[in-house]
Amino acid sequence: MHMTTIRVLCHLTGVKDLLLFLSTIFIFYLLYLLRHLPIPTATTAVTTITTATPFPCAATAPVSLSQILFSVAGSSPSFPRRTPYLNLWYNPNSTNAVVFLDRPNRSLPGPPVFISSDTSRFPYTFPSGRRSAIRVARVVKDTLDLELKSNFDFSDIRWFVFGDDDTVFFVDNVARILSKYDDRKWYYIGCHSESYEQNEKHSFDMAFGGGGFAISAPLARVLARVLDSCLFRYPHLYGSDARIFACLAELGVSLTHELGFHQVDVRGDIFGMLSAHPLASAASLHHLDTVDPIFPGMSKIQAVEHLFEAVRADSARILQQSVCYDHSNVFTVSVAWGYAVQVFQGNRLLPDLLQLQRTFRPWRRGGKVFSSHYMFNTKDFPSDPCEMPVIFYLNSVLSHTNGSWTTYTRHGAWNCERNTAMKELVNVKVFSGRLDFDVGQLKAPRRHCCDISSRVNETLVIGIRECGEDELIRMQT
């Protein structure tokens, strides 16, 4: 064989040996990885498939009313007089709702009524409470059992919302609020009481049941399965909501706070609460039988019916506060849309108008206004006539395709001699485009601005709009 050929063959043999050596090292490296990497279990694989299937690579779609079931707990003696509240928000064509009572009652218009299951085997030891709290807590299980016992189809239900027969829901707003959350996960959504003392007594982290609370469908199904065992462990608690909270805590779930759910643990005139609503969608109002009529000169139910004229026109905007300034007359105007307008003399700073005026009394009977603490900033309602606002209450709502005109009529006299222009005001007219926030805006809301037009005779005309990017809500000086 020629010498050159021999050298080539030797070179090739060396390359082969090198490649064989490198291949062997790589195989040993792979064996090392296979030995030390965790092997997926069957449970892990199933969980991954189940979680990824409904909405792969995307957030959940916005919640529609048809995907929410409202479950209401009531009692036979009180239900007939509270049915008008329920029928304000319940619509058989668009709202899924059921009612649970302690015993049969005469037939009334509204959602289908069911009788709660027997709870006599569960202990109740709270000294001065009512054992009906067990029955109301168990409405969660009774509701989920309807799928088996009454052939209800809950396959499309993404959220279960629970409340009392005197809870007034703003159902479209509830759907908007729930659209912010992934219903495939475990969520318990609601709000604490307005009363510091009530929270201190029960819990700051509990959703108060009268204000209503929402539970995502997967969590509701688990809660229904384990609820009875919890009821045996918590006989010493006062209410139904405390039992639900305790059981969810055992499941490792905490409350997600939404400020639009209102327990209304106050008494008297709640004007101060409604006229300075937080920057959040209004979801519910409770205890409307306990407080004064929210509009003067009306019965309690008439007043709530009147509010719902605005709710039907633009539910997303109801009670949302906008503040604007009249530079020529030096007015400050605060609009609680669909409810009331306040006109103040002079320049009032915005943070001062966001505080709630104490027009209401504490929930604890016999208490005075100053003897209680609340879960929000409050201030005295002014006693000086020149510091008091002129108040205009909702009179009428006129809807258009591009928005609404709401008219507010003056209530009461204004006994300050410093500003005759305010004395001449009789009406305030407000134009606003229909509010239709997307989920992103709901997660990061921003207060709207407003502009005051020249007065037309005795009427102040206001337009509400989105604020500019760097616009401040303040008096121009």
CATH number of the domain at 378, please: 2.70.130.10
Cβ atoms within 10 A of the Cβ of 306, count? 20
Do 327 and 225 lie in one domain? The reply is no
Q: What is the mean pLDDT of residues 283-303?
A: 96
Asked if residue 346 and residue 448 are part of one domain, the reply reads yes
The residue assigned the tokens 């407003």 is: 450
What average pLDDT does range 47-57 have in this prediction? 33
Task: Please check whether residues 321 and 389 belong to one and the same domain.
Answer: yes
Domain contains 270? no
Q: Which of 242, 253, 270 is nearest to 216 (CA)?
A: 253
Q: Are residues 105 and 242 in the same domain?
A: yes
Domain end position, chosen among 228, 257, 286: 257
Q: What is the pTM of this model?
A: 0.84
Q: Check whether residue 369 and residue 238 sit in a common domain.
A: no
**103 plus 248 within the same structural domain:** yes
Domain boundary among 237, 257, 277: 257
What integer pLDDT is reported at residue 360 of this predicted model? 92
**How much is the pLDDT for 401?**
83
- Specify if 31 maps to a domain: no
Non-local (6+) Cβ contacts of 340 within 8 A are 271, 274, 275, 391, 392, 393, 394, 408
Structure confidence at residue 15 (pLDDT): 46
Three-state DSSP string of the chain: CCHHHHHHHHHHHHHHHHHHHHHHHHHHHHHHHHHHCCCCCHHHHHHHHHHHCCCCCCCCCCCCHHHEEEEEECCCCCHHHHHHHHHHHCCCCCCEEEEEECCCCCCCCCCCEEECCCCCCCCCCCCCCCCHHHHHHCHHHHHHHHHHHCCCCCCCCCEEEEEECCCEECHHHHHHHHCCCCCCCCCEEECCCCEHHHHHHCCCCCCCHHHCEEEEHHHHHHHHHHHHHHHHHCCCCCCHHHHHHHHHHHCCCCCEECCCECCCCEEECCHHHHCCCCCCCCCEECCCCCECCCCCCCCHHHHHHHHHHHHHHCHHHCCCEEEEEECCCCEEEEEECCCEEEEEECCCCHHHHHCEECCEEECCCCCCHHHCCECCCEECCCCCCCCCCEEEEEEEEEEECCEEEEEEEEECCCCCCCCHHHHHCCEEEEEECCCCCCHHHHHCCCCCEEEECCCECCEEEEEEECCCCCCCCCCCC
Contacts with 22 (C-beta within 8 Å, 6 or more apart), sequence order: none
Question: Cα(212)–Cα(137) distance, rounded to whole angstroms?
Answer: 12
Q: Please report whether residue 266 resides in a domain.
A: no
Kindly state the average pLDDT of the residues 37-56. Answer: 35
Is 58's pLDDT higher than 80?
Answer: no
Please check whether residue 53 lies inside any domain of the structure: no
In a domain, 109, yes or no: yes
Confidence of residue 371 (pLDDT cuts 50, 70, 90): low
Q: To the nearest whole percent, how much of the chain has pLDDT over 70?
A: 85
* pLDDT at position 49: 27
Provide the β-strand partners of residue 190: 257
* Whether residue 218 is found in the same domain as residue 139: yes
Q: Are residues 323 and 201 in the same domain?
A: no
CB 242 within 8 A of CB 134: no
The confidence score (pLDDT) of residue 148 equals 86
Which are the contacts of 43, defined by CB distance < 8 A and separation ≥ 6?
none
Between residues 55 and 353, which one has the greater pLDDT? 353
**In terms of Cα–Cα distance, which of 273, 198, 277, 274 is closest to 241?**
198
Q: Per the domain annotation, does 13 fall within a domain?
A: no
**Which residue has better confidence, 6 or 175?**
175
For 387-440, what is each residue's pLDDT tens digit? 889 999 999 999 988 899 999 999 987 677 766 678 889 999 999 999 987 888
Percentage of the residues of the chain whose pLDDT score is greater than 90: 69
Residue 13 phi/psi, 5-degree rounding, is -65, -40
Top pLDDT among 467 and 378 is at 467
Q: Which residues contact 49 (CB under 8 A, 6 or more apart)?
A: none
pLDDT category, 5, cuts 50, 70, 90? very low
Residue 232 sits in the same domain as residue 89: yes
* Assigned token pair, 320: 């949302």
User: Cβ(286)–Cβ(215) under 8 Å?
Assistant: no
Report the domain count for the chain.
Answer: 2
Residue 245 sits in a domain of what CATH number? 3.90.550.50
Mean pLDDT, all residues of the chain: 86
Residue 39 in domain: no
User: What pLDDT sits at residue 37?
Assistant: 41
Q: Decide if pLDDT at 381 tops 70.
A: yes
In the predicted structure, residue 379 carries a pLDDT above the cut 90: no
Domain shared by 213 and 126, yes or no: yes
Are residue 240 and residue 379 in the same domain, yes or no?
no
Q: Are residues 94 and 237 in the same domain?
A: yes
The more confident residue out of 38 and 328 is 328
**Mean pLDDT of the 294-304 span:** 97
Residue range 213-236: mean pLDDT, rounded:
98
Most confident range, picked from 29-43, 274-288, 441-455:
274-288
278 within a domain of the structure (yes/no): no
- Across the strands, what pairs with 336? 321, 340
Which of 226, 257, 288 terminates a domain? The answer is: 257
Q: Is the pLDDT of residue 178 over 70?
A: yes
The whole-number pLDDT of residue 22 equals: 53
Look at residue 452 in the predicted model and tell me its pLDDT. 92
Buried (b) or exposed (e) across 136-145, using 16+ Cβ within 10 A? bbbbbbbbbe
Task: Determine the structural domain holding residue 136 and report its residue range.
Answer: 65-257
